């Protein structure tokens, strides 16, 4: 494992040559939580050439067990078969549990990961439960520079993470179960409004009828949603698919391609990315502030002192927080954040 660290220019050159190792190392650098690595990562991102053609960045979201991973593997296999280099980002299963079982093997996508045109990377989970990785945007930028034309991000929909994910991708795809029609009221309107493509998965065997009903219900509900803010000029689509029986997969890929073509032609995709850039800036600022604050020795000393007191009920939570935040003003313990 131990080998000399590669400099940013070396990594950049490696990424441009399509070297997986350089790409993997660069992603690891992005995900590092060390402040000096952050600076190196920023320099690396700056040095990346603009890709010849932007990748299509797609979030695949939906409830647990909807078949997102299976669908991604099937779709990915179809994409690479057509010569499209495809990258997949998943949330590291070790950081997430569902129903008491660790989701290990299902997310591995064995057939796709064996393909030379595919790249699969589990990213460390971010602060939001089931959301996206802390450095998903940065990783997508690297993948794009490395020549991946399609980037699929698997995220479990838990109600809040969807908006966060939508702020990072070109297209938000919602995967639903065949019986989703019954609970359509329960699916938050806001989430339906994000989706540019809705896939009713598991439309096979005994689920076929339910899937057809759901397809009809979702199709009927779509025109009632307000979508002005999202994907200007794009008419969202609903498709019935079966990841297992590989049905509806070509149509799905075709829908992705049409979305990219249309939204590129009308300039909406470029605008969306620029809008997302300011969100990206603030996310980095918030993340950096948090990290620097928590790494400050004065903060750590105060936390060690105050937290037990708060637990014992001797100091109020708000007062304790105030005292810790005062470190930022340099009036805490005479120690200033950033002074090290």
Ligand X SMILES: Nc1nc2c(ncn2[C@@H]2O[C@H](COP(=O)(O)OP(=O)(O)OP(=O)(O)O)[C@@H](O)[C@H]2O)c(=O)[nH]1
Query: What is the Cα 330 distance to its own chain's centre?
Result: 36
Q: Which residue is nearest to ligand X (CB)?
A: 67
For the CB of residue 107, give the shortest distance to Mg ion in the complex, in Å.
5
Query: What contacts 295, CB < 8 A, 6 or more positions away?
Result: 35
Q: Bridge partners of 125?
A: 133
For the CB of residue 84, give the shortest distance to Mg ion in the complex, in Å.
21
Spatial distance between the Cα atoms of 268 and 270, rounded to a whole number of angstroms: 6
- Residue 252 interacts with Mg ion (CB under 5 A)? no
Spatial distance between the Cα atoms of 68 and 153, rounded to a whole number of angstroms: 10
- Residue 82 interacts with ligand X (CB under 6 A)? no
Contact with ligand X (CB under 6 A): which of 15, 55, 66, 168? 66
- Residue 103 interacts with ligand X (CB under 6 A)? yes
Q: In the complex with ligand X, which residue's Cβ is closer, 91 or 145?
A: 91
Burial 222-254 (b: 16+ CB within 10 A, else e): beeeebeebbeebebbbbbbbbeebbbbeebbe
Site string for ligand X, 15-54 (x = CB under 6 A): ----------------------------------------
Site string for ligand X, 177-216 (x = CB under 6 A): ------------------------xx-x------------
CA–CA–CA angle 108, 110, 115 (5° rounding):
120
- Residue 242 interacts with ligand X (CB under 6 A)? yes
Q: In the complex with Mg ion, which residue's Cβ is closer, 69 or 201?
A: 69
- Residue 69 interacts with Mg ion (CB under 5 A)? yes
The SS3 of residue 283 is helix
Spatial distance between the Cα atoms of 312 and 87, rounded to a whole number of angstroms: 49
Binding residues (CB under 6 A) for ligand X: these are: 64-70, 98, 103, 106, 156, 201-202, 204, 242-244
Q: Which residues bind Mg ion (CB under 5 A)?
A: 68-69
């Amino acid at each position: 494992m131990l080998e000399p660290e590669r400099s940013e220019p070396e990594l950049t050159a490696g990424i441009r040559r399509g070297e997986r190792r350089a790409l993997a190392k660069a992603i690891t650098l992005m995900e590092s939580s060390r402040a000096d690595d952050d600076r190196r990562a920023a320099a690396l991102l700056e040095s990346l050439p603009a890709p010849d053609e932007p990748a299509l960045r797609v979030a695949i979201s939906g409830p647990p067990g909807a078949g997102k991973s299976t669908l991604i593997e099937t779709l990915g296999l179809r994409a690479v078969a057509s010569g499209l280099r495809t990258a997949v980002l998943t949330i590291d299963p070790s950081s997430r549990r569902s129903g008491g079982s660790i989701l290990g093997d299902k997310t591995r996508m064995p057939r796709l990961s064996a393909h030379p045109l595919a790249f699969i990377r589990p990213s460390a989970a971010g602060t939001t439960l089931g959301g996206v990785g802390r450095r998903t945007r940065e990783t997508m930028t690297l993948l794009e520079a490395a020549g991946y034309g399609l980037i699929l991000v698997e995220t479990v929909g838990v109600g809040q993470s969807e908006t966060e994910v939508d702020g990072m991708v070109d297209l938000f795809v919602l995967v639903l179960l065949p019986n989703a029609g019954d609970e359509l009221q329960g699916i938050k309107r806001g989430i339906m409004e994000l989706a540019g493509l809705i896939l009713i998965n598991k439309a096979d065997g005994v689920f076929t009828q339910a899937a057809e009903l759901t397809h009809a219900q979702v199709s009927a509900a779509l025109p009632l949603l307000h979508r002005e803010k999202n994907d200007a000029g794009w008419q969202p689509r609903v498709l019935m698919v079966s990841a297992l029986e590989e049905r509806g997969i070509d149509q799905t890929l075709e829908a992705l391609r049409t979305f990219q073509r249309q939204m590129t032609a009308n300039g909406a995709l470029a605008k969306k990315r620029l809008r997302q850039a300011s969100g990206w800036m603030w996310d980095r600022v918030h993340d950096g502030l948090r990290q620097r604050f928590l790494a400050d020795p004065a903060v750590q000393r105060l936390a060690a002192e105050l937290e037990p007191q708060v637990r014992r009920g001797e100091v109020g939570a708000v007062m304790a927080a105030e005292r810790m935040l005062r470190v930022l003003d340099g009036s805490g313990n005479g120690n200033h954040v950033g002074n090290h």
